[in-house]
Copies of this chain bind each other. A is one copy, B any other.
Amino acid sequence: MQSTMMASPLLVPHMTERAAKLFPSVEVVSVLPNGTRHRSTLGDLHRRSRQLAGALQAAGIIKGDRVATLLWNEREHLEAYFGIPVSGGVLHALNMRLHTQDLAHVVAHAKDRFLIVADVLLPIYEQLREFVQFERVFVVDRAGEKLPEGAESYEAFLASADNTFTPPELSEYDPAAICYTSGTTGKPKGVVYSHRSICLHALCTSLPDQLSFSRFETVCPISSMFHVNAWGFPFAGVMAGSKIVLPGRNLQPEALLDLMDQEQVTLSAAVPTVWMGMLNALETQPGRWKLSPRLRIAMGGAACAESLVRRFDALGIHVIHAWGMTETGPVATVSSLKPEMTTWSNDDRYAQRARQGMALPFIDLRAVNDEGECPWDGETTGELEIRGPWVAAGYHGIEDSPQWTADGWLRTGDVVTIDPEGYIKITDRVKDLIKSGGEWISSVDLENTLIGHHAVREAAVIAVPHPKWQERPLAVIILRDGACVDAGELRSFLELNFARWQVPDAFVFVEELPHTSTGKLLKTKLRHDFRDWQWEPA
């Protein structure tokens, strides 16, 4: 017996087609480099993304060809998100924060044919072109200055489309976007999302118990559109018919809060460090911003300290912690409570919300250690492994990778516990665990606790070789402006929650911590910097 259902594929082009039919006048607000706001609509988005697809087709794009972007979270980037896949091309949003060499590597590795670049980002392109060449370069030339040699105007390119666009035959398994990991070790590796994986990710993140995308939301992805597609917010938001707000290049807390206030944003997404900056502004300038009472903020890309959830709650802003990685589309788990948990104590509820949460529908996960699959007891730690329709099965152009198990699960590199309720909690990265005297110490737990101290702005805990214990934890601390604290006080503070042997032996106060291009702590650098640390004799 065969199913009698239609073989209608899940395709990215459907998203703007739907929005243009049902929500044509819903706004797309895009902050320009000069700080003013450009206002257009989802109808415009559909029309212009089809124009882009038509222009790419006229330029000779062949299904699967890569088109790179070097753009902020802005209107033209949104057009590229849809126009490139509509043309049959593959969107490659370049992470402008990578070093030129790494950027050149990913462009060459992806074999990007075309580039769309904002005029304000031309300096990056100028560096890049010393190493790689694009067939054609289209500049979003708002300032109207002279274009680099050989480059063309994006608007002129769009205008050149003669409205004879013929949609290519697409399968849902065709590639639609490529994202490179920003791993802390080794070269960036490419993950190629399919139309199917993007559509299913959009559907499942949109569910009421997950991030809940709706036409009643105003969605503002602060998380970069060049970093795992801004967690899929542009796709899910447009599919739902949400108002879209794109913050452009100014990610200063006050500018973001002005925007979120004036556009009454209800759903946003960013990494914890960005939220921390906004939180400080909100706390030090109470009453200055009137944010939407419905505002929900998704926090991901790094562990979310419980204290952060509490402080936002005190301001009436609901934090949703989510977890994922480039290899998982990216959102794989979301931490929201179960009905019976709403009666738990405050402390228990906050502890639960600060976990990384439960798997989305159609995502399977397990924790594995030397003894095999870990029980869901909230205590046994193992490496998180994952599979599902928007999880990578391999890297682009790499034959075999130890990242996948023999039975086809992705090894995430995160060490987790899974509690009986099914919530994962990341206790460390596999390579960030500290092995002291045969016992494991979690650097992430220490960091999250340290951040809860009123004087601490940011904290990193790393393993440093030790003559007796093999490794011992060392804490590197940035204090808040004007705050003052010494190692003794931090040690006592930690001893409230940790065994004495788990507490760092040294506290180093610094002005700055090294981060990856996507805002994650660059522990490899820290470990390198402190590799010759001399422990005081006990």
Contact = CB atoms under 8 A, between A and B. Distances in A.
Nearest to A204: B203
A209 B214 contact: yes
Given A14-B361, A173-B3, A8 B206 contact: no
A388 interface: yes
Contact of A192 (B1, B23, B214, B338): B1
A159 interface: no
Contacts of A454: none
Interface stretch (A94-102, A134-142, A392-400, A496-504): A392-400
A239 interface: yes
Interface stretch (A35-43, A46-54, A193-201, A476-484): A193-201
Nearest to A410: B6
A391 interface: yes
Interface string A516-528: 0000000000000
User: Contact residue range for chain A?
Assistant: 35 or more
A336 to B, nearest CB: 9
Nearest to A25: B340
A6 B408 contact: yes
A22 B338 CA distance: 10
A10 B389 contact: yes
Nearest to A9: B389
Interface string A336-369: 0011000000000000000000110110000000
Nearest to A398: B4
A213 interface: yes
B387 A6 contact: yes
A196 B392 contact: no
Nearest to A21: B422
Contacts of A339: 215-216
12 contacts: A2-B192, A4-B191, A5-B393, A6-B392, A6-B408, A8-B387, A8-B389, A21-B376, A22-B421, A203-B203, A207-B208, A207-B214
A512 to B, nearest CB: 36
B206 A358 contact: no
Contact of A8 (B241, B376, B388, B421): B388
A449 interface: no
Contacts of A387: 6, 8
Interface string A249-289: 00000000000000000000000000000000000000000
A64 interface: yes
A339 B213 CA distance: 14
Contacts of A215: 209, 338-339
A175 interface: yes
A174 interface: yes
A191 B3 CA distance: 8
A392 B4 contact: yes
A494 B21 CA distance: 34
A146 B215 CA distance: 57
Contact of A5 (B4, B18, B390): B390
A7 interface: yes
Contact of A388 (B6, B199, B394): B6
A436 to B, nearest CB: 34
Nearest to A195: B3
A473 to B, nearest CB: 34
A330 B391 CA distance: 30
Nearest to A423: B22
A425 interface: no
Nearest to A8: B389
Contacts of A192: 1-5
A463 to B, nearest CB: 32
Interface in A410-446: 421-422
Nearest to A66: B1
Contacts of A390: 5
Interface in A166-224: 173-176, 178, 190-194, 196-197, 199-200, 203-204, 206-209, 212-216
Contacts of A2: 175, 192
Contacts of A6: 387-389, 391-393, 408
B22 A175 contact: no
A199 B193 CA distance: 21
A332 to B, nearest CB: 12
B204 A212 contact: no
A65 to B, nearest CB: 8
Nearest to A396: B4
A459 to B, nearest CB: 32
A207 B206 contact: yes
A90 interface: yes
A237 to B, nearest CB: 12
A240 interface: yes
A391 B214 contact: no
Interface in A289-342: 329, 338-339
Contacts of A395: 4
